């Protein structure tokens, strides 16, 4: 297999405006992009200079940036050394990252590990080549990082789980809990305490459930059949986060 490698100084990102919007959205919240369809990496035309955003599995939310400078199909992807807030970071072999890359205006995500880091003829990092890609699309509603106490009451006898909401939007939320996930079901009721004293009970559909490195779980929730008063209270609270970001983390996790 032929390895494609380009000096990062000469690599230029295609679709610069789209890449900037993609980066900005991910900087605000990586959950602005959601899984859509599986894609075979062999079918993807990897683009030199494409923006790559990396999120350490061990430190969710810490978004790093790099550029794609080459690939060896089926073997590895080559990127510039990742930076965090413009500063270089130390890369460890075998470190696992959640990767997002913009190609032809489409966002793709996958999990990859560091194979090695090179300093000659210039600095670059080798990542494991993905087995599968998830094509992503922007969410309809931007999510806000929060930390709000919540209870998820499952339908059909699946019980209840205490935890907290870690991000929130008009259309859904991410529920984090340390309680075991024996069975989640597909429908539930979310009891949520907003920092302004409002209590909401919202019907939700469970879209995803993912284990975390701390042995906890995170569930992606989509709100269903929200009545007018609850919608007004939710929108009022979200609007307050734009003017007073401190309201985003009013309580300790349950």
pLDDT score of 36: 58
pLDDT score of 199: 92
Question: In the chain, how many domains are there?
Answer: 2
Same domain (yes/no): 113, 183: no
pTM above 0.75, yes or no: no
CATH number at residue 134: 2.30.110.10
Same domain (yes/no): 205, 242: yes
* Structural domain contains residue 253: no
Residues of the chain short of pLDDT 50, as ranges, are 1-2, 6-31, 33, 35, 250-254
Task: Show Cβ contacts of residue 108 under 8 Å, excluding neighbours closer than 6 positions.
Answer: 39, 44, 100, 101, 102, 133, 134, 135, 136
**For 28, phi and psi rounded to 5 degrees?**
-70, -45
**For 51, phi and psi rounded to 5 degrees?**
-70, 130
pLDDT score of 245: 53
Q: Which of the listed residues 138, 170, 191 is the one where a domain comes to its end?
A: 138
CATH number at residue 221: 2.40.10.220
Q: Which of the listed residues 78, 104, 138 is the one where a domain comes to its end?
A: 138
Owning domain of residue 22: 4-138
């Amino acid at each position: 297999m032929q390895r494609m490698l380009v000096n990062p100084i000469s690599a230029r990102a295609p679709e610069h405006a789209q890449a900037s919007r993609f980066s900005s959205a991910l900087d605000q919240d990586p959950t602005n992009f959601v899984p859509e369809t599986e894609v075979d990496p062999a079918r993807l035309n990897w683009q030199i200079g494409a923006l790559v955003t990396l999120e350490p599995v061990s430190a969710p939310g810490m978004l790093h940036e790099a550029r794609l400078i080459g690939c060896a199909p089926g073997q590895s992807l080559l990127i510039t050394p990742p930076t965090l807030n413009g500063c270089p970071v130390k890369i460890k072999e075998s470190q696992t990252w959640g990767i997002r890359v913009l190609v032809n205006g489409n966002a793709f995500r996958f999990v990859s590990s560091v194979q090695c880091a090179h300093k000659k003829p210039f600095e670059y990092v080798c990542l494991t080549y993905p087995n599968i890609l998830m094509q992503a699309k922007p969410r309809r509603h931007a999510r806000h990082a929060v930390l709000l106490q919540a209870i998820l009451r499952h339908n059909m006898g699946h019980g209840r789980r205490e935890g907290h909401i870690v991000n929130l939007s008009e259309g859904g939320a991410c529920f984090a809990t340390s309680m075991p996930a024996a069975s989640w079901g597909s429908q539930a009721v979310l009891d949520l305490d907003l920092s302004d004293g409002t209590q909401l009970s919202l019907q939700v559909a469970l879209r995803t459930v993912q284990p975390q490195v701390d042995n906890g779980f995170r569930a992606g929730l989509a709100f269903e059949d929200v009545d007018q008063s609850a919608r007004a209270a939710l929108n009022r609270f979200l609007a307050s986060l734009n003017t007073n970001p401190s309201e985003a983390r009013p309580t300790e996790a349950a």
